[in-house]
Amino acid sequence: MVTLTELERYCHTLLNCSAISDYAPNGVQVRGREEIRTIVSGVSACLALFDAALAHQADLVLVHHGMFWEKDPRVVEGSLKKRLQCLLQHDLTLMAFHLPLDAHSELGNNAQILQRLNLTPGKPFGLYRGSHLSSIGQCPQGLSLEEMVQSVQALFGGDPLVLPFGPATIQQVAVCSGAAPELIREAKQKGADLFLTGEASEYVYHFAAEEEIHFIAAGHHRSERFGVQALGDTLARQFELQHHCIDIANPI
C-alpha cells in the first residue's frame, strides 16, 4: 500500500512534469481515497474504464488522456458530469499524465514505440512548447516500406494509413504518438525517411508526395497504449501494488 500523496509526488518526479508545458493538468484530477492498493490503467478517462476499475476493486484510475483540457467548457454537464458522479460516488481517484508521459525516455509512448519497433533513439524530435517529445529512430541496416508496415501492423493492430512517397530504403524513422501530423515538416527537416504518428490531416498527403517522405498514421488510441501501461507496471513494482491495464477499444 502507498498513499495517494506519495504516489503523485513520485510520478511527478519520475516524469519530470515541471519541465514540460502542457495544455492539461498532470497528476491527480479527481482525488479519491488516500490509501492505494490497486491501480487500473488505460489510455483515456471514460465510463467504460471506470466500470472496469470498479470491477477490479481499484483505488486509482491512471490514464494518458484525462478529463480536463484548456479549451474545454467550464460547465459540468453531460458526459463530464456522469464521469465525475461515478468517481465521486465510489471515492475513486483519477490521475492523468499527458505530454510528460509522451516524452519520458523510457516509459513514454514514443520511447516504447521505438523500442518495440527495434529502432535506436537518435536526434531529438517532436518540438512542442520548448520540449522534445520524441526522437528520430535509427535503423542502420535499412528496411523496406513493406517491412516497416508489417512491423507497424504487428505492433499496433488495425489498418494503418500509409502514404508511400519516401525512399526505397528506410533508415531514419521520426515517431510521435497521438495527433501530431504537423510534425511531418520537422521530420523532413531532420532527414527522416518516414514519419509515424497516430492521426493524419488532409495537407499531409501532398506534403509527403512533394517532399518524398513516407507517412504512417497508426491510430491515436493505438499509438498511446504503451506509456500508461509501462508507468502502471513501474508503480506496481515500486510500491507492491496490483496493476491491471485495460484497453478500452477505440478505432480512432
Q: Cα separation of 235 and 225, whole Å?
A: 16
Contacts of 23 (CB under 8 A, 6+ apart): 69, 70, 71, 98
Q: State which fold the 2-98+225-244 domain adopts.
A: 3.40.1390
Residue 187 phi/psi, 5-degree rounding, is: -60, -45
- In the chain, which residues have pLDDT < 70? none
Give the model's pLDDT for residue 194.
98
User: What residue ranges do the domains of the chain occupy?
Assistant: 2-98+225-244, 103-223
Q: What is the pTM of this model?
A: 0.96
All three cell numbers of 190, joined, read 531532420
Could you report the per-residue pLDDT of 58-70, keeping only the tens digit for each? 999 999 999 999 9
Cβ neighbours of 41 (radius 10 Å):
28
Cβ neighbours of 86 (radius 10 Å):
18
Could you report the per-residue pLDDT of 23-78, keeping only the tens digit for each? 999 999 999 999 999 999 999 999 999 999 999 999 999 999 999 999 999 999 99
Report the top-level CATH class of 103-223.
alpha beta
Give the model's pLDDT for residue 1.
87
Which residues pair with residue 194 across a beta bridge?
173, 214
Give the model's pLDDT for residue 125.
98
Give the model's pLDDT for residue 119.
98
Give the model's pLDDT for residue 225.
98
Q: Is the dihedral of CA 171, 189, 64, 47 positive or negative?
A: negative
Could you report the per-residue pLDDT of 230-245, keeping only the tens digit for each? 999 999 999 999 999 9
